[in-house]
Structure 1
């Protein structure tokens, strides 16, 4: 590793250790540092989450949406690495999927193949408002899901705005999923146990991929939607409640939507906003996770209701005290980790996987 990269990694590690030290303080001390409880819409913000947000303000962490896009991309990735920590994994393989960079995560319990049809596989699409994010920003989350759920995880990239506005990302993820279906064996995957999932913008892309898979008759067993953006009109009440001071801001959403969807008349295009799509027959079962203090909360929950009303098996789970982005906080906060444990367990159940901890009797 080049010297600048080693120094950067050391800085991230030191900052993470400092935040983790704060989170280990006794509860009364954490409350004094975080400030009075924050209660909105009958919900109370998780104390550890409030403390981390307070620490970011005091440390004058750069605000991504106020930076030029290239610099903002670097900052967002560094922040994700800080919150994600170093998560164990059996193996990580770099590959190309439909011509784009990808990573295949193989959990430790599945390194040795037993000659069966293949392993369950999650095709993961990263968040970042269609402008930010990539393989590195969601590396910790992909490692965690692979290990905890006992499934292979394939993280795929797509073209980002503003260089490549809608429908570039949509086209890329559909091409990637079609490629996965045609190459499941090469990936060590069982084509009857494929899932697609993602967080935020990645949840949007996962949802539209699932809709397309059903229309095209492609195999898909499950969809994992983590605080998905489903309605780019942003008309839901939660946008007005939580758009300031809780990580995902109205300013950020204004910026990324202008970059991704410069033609505002396409906000209700079903390929951009799955809330406006007709639900096809045989749509894969879904798990929809939302956060109580997230501007995207209400639209995610409305989408879950719409799927259920159409007869799709749906599990909708709100994590009351958490904020948008909690899935990247693998290394910070007990409530975040507990939520991710639940999400990984749902993925394992949805794909009929046996998590490694269960397989090994631990």
Structure 2
């Protein structure tokens, strides 16, 4: 299938954003460029009952969070959300529309987490912040959705990687999770996948970008890059993990490792919904305002998560 026409219309701008060599570019310039790209998919704000910026305790100080509450009476599910951006860009604002829609569509409290970012704070900073925030929410669930049995994780790209590894940590700690939503997750830093070649250039995220991002986040030590907290597909075991919703994109160099993770989860006996969306590219969660195909994908992924939280 050819690329979605609505995405093709903004692809030149998206490709211009990723043309700079990430490894040698000032990260603040990358973050400014992402904000410009986000403007291309801007839309009318989705209203929820309330939105409040706050902090939770972290290993290196307060972690910024944004708490979205639905218009609902009584206890509701809680979703902890981790934004994408290659562990380098992305923040609470870059995914505000994504998390507003998640709150509205699920009728859940959403806690969006802004973890420390590379290259200033490489691995394990993002993991440690995200884990600390999730533990805090779980330990104080009465302040959030108040349903202890309906806590879920969600994220896209780098945030999906964080959601996957934290789901593994929660399993190992005996902490319950109701579900995990993983949108186009990077799952295996040193794997060899056809999509890395098939979609190497031309679809916003390039294979060269991935190499640079992985270097800035986790360095070059094979022992670090292959550990489960960086490459969740390489975990010693995947059984007993929370039900997973995995969404990948046809024209994404990360497509095949996301599908490989879904397959490995299924083989380990985990309840998995997986869909590879034709015509879409990496980052489609943010593209639903301009692309009907992306909107359909987001609708389905959110509905799958809602089913597991109902």
| Pairwise TM-score range, normalised by the shorter structure | over 0.9
What pairs with 1:112-131 in structure 2 (closer than 5 Å)? 113-114=73-74, 118-131=75-88
Contact 1:85 1:330 in 2 (8 A): no
**Corresponding residue to 2:227 among 234, 247, 269:** 269
**Corresponding residue to 1:294 among 221, 233, 252:** 252
Aligned residue for 2:181? 224
Aligned residue for 1:70? 28
Contact 1:204 1:230 in 2 (8 A): yes
Which deviations, in whole Å up to 9, do the C-alpha atoms of 1:67-111 show, x marking residues without a partner? Answer: 42101112213322431423312211111122200001112x32x
- Match of 2:161, SS state, is helix
- Match of 1:50, SS state, is helix
CA–CA distance in structure 2, aligned partners of residues 164 and 61 of structure 1 = 22
1:309 aligns with 2:272: no
CA displacement at 1:190 relative to structure 2: 1.1
Aligned residue for 2:43? 85
**Corresponding residue to 2:115 among 132, 154, 158:** 158
Aligned residue for 1:242? 199
**Corresponding residue to 1:194 among 137, 142, 151:** 151
Q: Which runs of 5+ in 2 are unaligned?
A: none
Contact 2:81 2:111 in 1 (8 A): yes
CA displacement at 1:183 relative to structure 2: 0.9
CA–CA distance in structure 2, aligned partners of residues 119 and 246 of structure 1 = 38
- How many residues align structurally? 302
CA displacement at 1:189 relative to structure 2: 3.0
- Match of 1:288, SS state, is strand
Aligned residue for 2:171? 214
TM-score of the aligned structures, taking structure 1 as reference length: 0.80
TM-score of the aligned structures, taking structure 2 as reference length: 0.92
1:44 aligns with 2:7: no
Q: CA RMSD in A?
A: 1.7
CA–CA distance in structure 1, aligned partners of residues 253 and 301 of structure 2 = 20
Contact 1:152 1:189 in 2 (8 A): no
**Corresponding residue to 1:255 among 186, 192, 212:** 212
Change (3 A) 1:280 1:338: closer
Higher Rg: 1
CA–CA distance in structure 2, aligned partners of residues 44 and 62 of structure 1 = 21
CA displacement at 1:150 relative to structure 2: 1.8
Q: Which runs of 5+ in 1 are unaligned?
A: 1-42, 353-362
